[in-house]
Amino acid sequence: MQERLVDILNDKNNVLHVFPVQIEADVTALREADFEQKALEAAAAAEIVPHHEEEKLKARLHVSRGGPLMPYGDSLQTKTEHKIRLEEQIRERAYFLWREAGCPDNQADGIWQHACEIQCASTDQTD
């Protein structure tokens, strides 16, 4: 059995739905048209458009984006660098708060939260 994702498009080439299509057959004998036809049948059964518009539907194999996801518009990774700097500042502040409190055990979460609140308040004042 082989599974493919198939896009169902309207007459304006807008994707209306993506169907996972499974066909039980010899893998070498399968064609793209087999998957597309089965997806069109599924679209008709699901009634994603009125019956009189079903003949306008088209199907195409889904093309997925490969590779790692990267933040859009952050080619210099300035947001990531800012986040790292902020976390380092919070970590340092939390350490000093922990030392001031006498190095207590089992209070790391509370001290970290307090450091975040202080850092956010000081960041808001500088913006």
Domain boundaries, position 43: 2-61
For residue 118, tell me if it sits in a domain.
yes
57 with 90, same domain: the answer is no
Q: Taking 90 as the threshold, does the pLDDT of residue 6 lie above it?
A: yes
46 with 19, same domain: the answer is yes
90 with 53, same domain: the answer is no
Count of domains for the chain: 2
| pLDDT digit string, tens, across residues 68-92 | 555 555 555 666 777 888 889 999 9
| pLDDT digit string, tens, across residues 35-67 | 999 999 999 999 989 999 999 999 999 887 665
Q: Taking 70 as the threshold, does the pLDDT of residue 3 lie above it?
A: yes
**pLDDT at position 23, please?**
85
What percentage of the chain exceeds 70 in pLDDT?
A: 82
What does pTM read for this prediction?
0.49
Of 29, 61, 93, which residue sits at a domain end?
61
12 with 57, same domain: the answer is yes
45 with 96, same domain: the answer is no
d(CA 78, CA 71): 11
**pLDDT at position 68, please?**
59
